[in-house]
């Protein structure tokens, strides 16, 4: 009997609608995620990666319209009332943000914020919740955790604040952790500490994790699979190692080529010409068409579908088949056609 | 462009003992403490090179850039531009800024929202005494140099341009006076990768065409590796290591530099980083540790490191580092 996946998203779209404008910012997004898996949404600013993630917990502004279906651990998120959502946010899916200073409440201590969350979701006393908060701070490796329970967010360094926010997110033992660029604001030596912490907690607790990042290096450190986003759509999905080794979509290939590394020293970078499209004025057909070296007349006929191919991969490019023929050796056929 | 007065061997910038402390005021307005942002640093910048400056937030990279430009006054120390000290004994600040320009991280905040791209550049040229017609021509020439057609982009306001286009306007403004040095303070850090690559290519072209010298400040070690000839590593207001890029990236000497480089993401899922090289965050620059400022996070630290501050010593030709463990002073002091 096939087990239900933890996350199942089908044909997700998000539109921002007000009196003047009806803007589609996420379109045709489908994926599934099992317990213990790590998926990365990789994309540049405005590609829709954060909006897609926030849609999973319906953490979007009131003028957002969500289409398609989102199932989290059996719950139909799109059909739930605000009241019902409270039972999903926390125990099923919890989120950590890029800037802990704005995500934590500045007027309450770390211990109070964590204990408050536990009391709100579980039938435990305040003292028990405080004890759990201490365990959580120890779990995220905050030194002298007992003392830090009574610290306010501004009294902690950036790295410790991010650890405290992770502890807060883990307070209800979520099955799914959503991480929105959690290390982007951190220094290199602290970033790697936090990435390693999330990686070890994720393994230890068997959590599924979705990471949003613009940094392919972060994706390489944490992800099992990645979904590359461009102009609101998935353009390539598959195992991270395969995509980095042999990208199928021209955008992914361009992104990898234009990423500076040790081997590019002294050379000209192969940049992608132009910039991402204006969402209010999308090109006909493939959104990447105007910047693509392989652009042909067929690309403008309509938005290409996400075409699955060997190794559990897919690419939203009409040339996908040729890439597969020219590409790497096989792998088993996709276990899930659309990701 | 002003003349090359000192000849090619004369460094374009010499920095000696530069120090800047920012006062922290308490609730009654009294000065309670100081942020020791830059604490007695010295280095030089050679003509035609790109000097990369790396370090974590709070290490004093940006304060150093602002001190070089004299956007803030140093508490102590001197900056010598092509042999001339800055100030009443040497070249004026206006003359310095005609020769040295800066491009900032935030392309939006560093442009006047009420100026079009052309007006933005003309404004600076007029301040330096150029006639309005000539300034306009020069502004258009600069826009062309950075790949923005004046007919299409010259009349656009900052909000009408993308981040990459705005940063090109900032660069055009920076080169419009034909300066000799460009200070790039995290100038490509806020750009998306595909656009960042375009701007890095542009900067490489401009350097060749206009004979520029770059001081390239970034927290992105890969970008600094790509562009730099020499690299300066800062930690908590001090220079801990400086040397040729291939030495710093291939054979770093200072324990902090080594840890910083070991923190780089692998870019290969098969070679993931196994353990974090350092624990904790950098200390607060208000109360830096005594002696060597890195000692609280250093695996090699001994009592000698707390007792005295290590000085920059040459460990190979052109390669200096400030660490007791490298110069054998640890054994002497013990």
| Nearest partner of B223 among B53, B68, B106, judged by Cα | B53
- Centroid of chain to Cα A254: 21
Tokens, residue B45: 């910048």
Minimal C-alpha gap between B198 and chain A (Å): 6
- Can you read off the two tokens belonging to residue B333? 């002091």
Under an 8 A CB cutoff, do B194 and A223 touch? no
Helices H / strands E in chain A, number of each: 12, 12
Q: Which domains does chain B have, with CATH numbers?
A: 13-333 (3.40.50.300)
DSSP 8-state symbol, A65: E
How close is the nearest chain B Cα to the Cα of A209, in Å? 17
| Cβ atoms within 10 Å of B194's Cβ, excluding its own | 24
Total Cβ atoms within 10 A of residue B108: 14
Q: Which secondary structure element, helix H or strand E, spans residue B279, and what is its range?
A: none
Q: Which residue of B has its CA nearest to A254?
A: B194
Distance CA A236, CA A305 (A): 11
pLDDT confidence of residue A322: 53
Among A255, A260, A275, the residue with its CB nearest the CB of B222 is A260
3-state secondary structure of A234: strand
Q: Reduced to 3 DSSP states, what percent helix, strand and coil does chain B have, rounded to the nearest 5?
A: 35, 25, 40
Instruction: Enter the tokens of residue A64.
Output: 């957002």
pLDDT of residue A265: 78
How many independent structural domains does chain A possess?
1
Kindly state whether residue A212 falls inside one of the protein's structural domains: no
Interface probe for A, chosen from B194, B226, B251 (most Cβ of A below 10 Å), is B194
Number of CB atoms found within 10 A of residue A151's CB: 18
Are A44 and B193 a contacting pair at CB < 8 A? yes
User: Is residue A116 situated within a structural domain?
Assistant: no
DSSP string spanning B19-62? EEEEEEE-TTS-EEEEEEEEEEEEEEE-TT-EEEEE--TTSSHH
Helix (H, G, I), strand (E, B) or coil at B220: coil
Reported for B286-290, long-range contacts at CB under 8 A and 24+ positions apart, including other chains, are B286/B24, B286/B33, B286/B34, B286/B35, B286/B36, B287/B33, B288/B36, B288/B39, B288/B236, B288/B237
Contact B269, A195 (CB under 8 A): no
Phi/psi for B44 (5° steps) reads -130, 160
| CB contacts, 8 Å: B275 with chain A | 196
Residues A235-264: pLDDT tens digits?
999 999 999 999 999 999 999 988 887 777
Asked whether the beta carbons of residue A196 and residue B275 sit closer than 8 angstroms, the reply is: yes
Q: Smallest CA–CA separation between B91 and chain A, in Å?
A: 34
Q: Which pLDDT score is estimated for B2?
A: 56
Residue B279 CA to residue B288 CA, distance in Å, equals 17
Distance CA A51, CA A64 (A): 10
A13 located within any domain: no
Among B260, B266, B272, beta carbon nearest to A189:
B260
A270 touches B at CB < 8 Å: yes
Query: With left for phi above 0 and alpha for psi between -120 and 50, is residue A295 left, alpha or beta?
Result: beta
CA distance B276 to A186: 14
CA-derived radius of gyration, chain B: 21
Burial pattern A189-202, b for ≥16 Cβ within 10 A else e, equals bbbbbbbbbbbebb
Residue the block writes with tokens 């009408």:
B160
Kindly list the distances between the CA atom of residue A192 and the CA atoms of A145, A158, A204, in Å, as whole numbers in the listed order.
21, 13, 18
Range of the domain at A261: 229-277+284-326
Residue A264: inside a domain: yes
With contact defined as beta carbons under 8 Å apart, do A27 and A13 qualify?
Answer: yes
Q: Where are the beta strands (DSSP E) in A101-182?
A: 176-180
Question: In whole angstroms, what is the distance from residue A63 CA to residue A41 CA?
Answer: 23
In a domain, A122, yes or no: no
What is the value of pTM for the model shown? 0.88
Measured between alpha carbons, how far is B270 from A221 in angstroms, rounded to an integer?
A: 9
In chain A, which residues have their Cβ closer than 8 Å to the Cβ of B255? none
Chain A closest-CA separation from residue B299 CA (Å):
15
- Which residue reads 């710093």 in tokens? B248
Q: Which residues of A260-279 are buried (b: 16+ CB within 10 A; e: fewer)?
A: bbeebeeeebbbbeebbbeb
Candidate from A143, A187, A221 with C-beta closest to B57: A187
Closest CA to B212 of B180, B185, B177: B180
State the count of interchain CB pairs (< 8 A) between A and B. Answer: 128
| Pick from B204, B223, B266: CB nearest A221 | B266
Q: Give φ, ψ of A277 to 5 degrees.
A: -70, 155
Per residue of chain B (334 residues), give pLDDT as tens. 456 777 888 999 999 999 999 999 888 888 889 999 999 999 999 999 999 999 988 899 999 999 999 999 999 999 999 999 998 888 999 999 999 999 998 999 999 999 999 999 999 999 999 999 999 999 999 999 999 999 999 999 999 998 999 999 999 999 999 999 999 999 998 888 888 999 999 999 999 999 999 999 998 999 999 999 999 999 999 999 999 999 999 999 999 999 999 999 888 888 898 899 998 888 888 999 999 999 999 999 999 999 999 999 999 999 999 999 987 655 444 3
**Residues of chain A below pLDDT 70:** 1-2, 322-339
B269 touches chain A (CB under 8 A): yes
Task: Give the model's pLDDT for residue B329.
Answer: 55
- List the beta strands (DSSP E) in chain B: 13-25, 31-45, 50-54, 76-81, 84-85, 100-103, 181-185, 213-217, 230-235, 238-244, 313-316, 319-321
The residue in chain B having the minimum alpha-carbon distance to the alpha carbon of residue A187 is: B56
Kindly state whether residue A183 falls inside one of the protein's structural domains. Answer: no
């Amino acid at each position: 009997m096939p087990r239900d996946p933890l996350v199942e998203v089908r044909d997700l779209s998000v539109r921002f609608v007000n009196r003047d404008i009806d803007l589609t910012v996420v379109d045709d997004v489908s994926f599934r995620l099992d317990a213990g898996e790590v998926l990365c949404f990789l994309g540049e600013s405005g590609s829709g990666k954060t909006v897609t993630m926030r849609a999973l917990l319906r953490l979007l502004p009131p003028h957002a319209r969500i289409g398609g279906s989102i199932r989290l651990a059996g719950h139909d998120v799109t059909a739930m009332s605000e009241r019902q959502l409270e039972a999903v946010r926390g125990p099923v899916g919890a989120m950590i943000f890029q800037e802990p200073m704005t995500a934590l409440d500045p007027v309450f201590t770390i211990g109070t914020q964590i204990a408050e969350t536990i009391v709100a979701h579980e039938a435990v006393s305040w003292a028990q919740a405080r004890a759990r908060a201490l365990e959580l701070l120890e779990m995220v490796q905050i030194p002298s955790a007992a003392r830090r329970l009574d610290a306010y967010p501004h009294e902690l360094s950036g790295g410790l604040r991010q650890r405290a926010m992770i502890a807060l997110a883990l307070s209800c033992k979520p099955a799914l952790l959503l991480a929105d660029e959690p290390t982007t604001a951190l220094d290199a030596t602290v970033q790697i500490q936090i990435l390693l912490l999330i990686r070890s907690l994720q393994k230890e607790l068997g959590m599924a994790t979705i990471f949003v990042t613009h940094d392919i290096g972060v994706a390489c450190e944490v992800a099992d699979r990645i979904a590359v986003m461009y102009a609101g759509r998935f353009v390539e999905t598959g195992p991270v190692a395969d995509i980095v080794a042999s990208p199928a979509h021209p955008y992914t290939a361009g992104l990898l080529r234009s990423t500076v590394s040790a081997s590019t020293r002294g050379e000209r970078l192969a940049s992608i010409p132009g910039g991402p499209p204006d969402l209010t004025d999308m090109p006909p057909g493939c959104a990447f068409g105007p910047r693509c070296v392989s652009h042909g007349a067929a690309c403008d006929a309509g938005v290409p579908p996400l075409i699955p191919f060997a190794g559990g991969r897919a690419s939203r490019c009409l040339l996908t088949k040729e890439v597969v023929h020219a590409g790497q050796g096989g792998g088993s056929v996709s276990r899930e056609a659309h990701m | 462009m002003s003349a090359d007065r000192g000849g090619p061997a004369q460094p374009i910038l010499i920095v000696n003992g530069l120090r800047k402390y920012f006062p922290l005021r308490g609730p009654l307005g009294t000065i309670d403490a100081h942020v020791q942002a830059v604490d007695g640093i010295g280095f030089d910048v050679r003509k035609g090179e790109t000097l990369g400056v790396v370090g974590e937030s709070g290490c004093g990279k940006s304060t150093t850039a602002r001190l070089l430009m004299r956007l803030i006054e140093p508490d102590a120390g001197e900056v010598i531009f092509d042999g001339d000290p800055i100030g009443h004994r040497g070249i004026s600040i206006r003359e310095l800024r005609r020769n040295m320009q800066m491009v900032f991280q935030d392309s939006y905040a560093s442009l006047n929202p009420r100026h079009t791209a052309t007006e933005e550049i003309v404004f600076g040229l007029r301040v330096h005494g150029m006639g309005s017609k000539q300034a306009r021509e020069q502004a258009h020439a600069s826009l062309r140099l950075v790949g923005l057609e004046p007919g299409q982009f010259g009349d656009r306001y900052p909000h009408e341009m993308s981040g990459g286009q705005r940063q090109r306007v900032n660069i055009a403004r920076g080169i419009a006076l034909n300066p000799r040095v460009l200070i790039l303070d995290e100038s490509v850090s806020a750009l998306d990768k595909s656009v960042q690559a375009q701007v890095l290519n542009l900067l490489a072209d401009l350097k060749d065409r206009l004979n520029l010298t770059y001081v390239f400040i970034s927290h992105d070690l890969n970008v600094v590796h790509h562009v730099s000839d020499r690299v300066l590593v800062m930690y908590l207001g001090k220079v801990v290591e400086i040397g040729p890029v291939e030495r710093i990236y291939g054979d770093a000497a200072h324990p902090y530099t080594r840890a910083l480089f070991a923190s780089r993401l692998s870019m290969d899922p098969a070679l993931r980083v196994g353990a974090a090289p350092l624990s904790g965050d950098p200390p607060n620059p208000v109360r830096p540790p005594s002696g060597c400022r890195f000692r609280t996070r250093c695996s090699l630290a001994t009592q000698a490191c707390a007792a005295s501050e290590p000085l920059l010593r040459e460990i190979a030709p052109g390669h200096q580092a400030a660490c007791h463990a490298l110069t054998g002073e640890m054994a002497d002091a013990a």
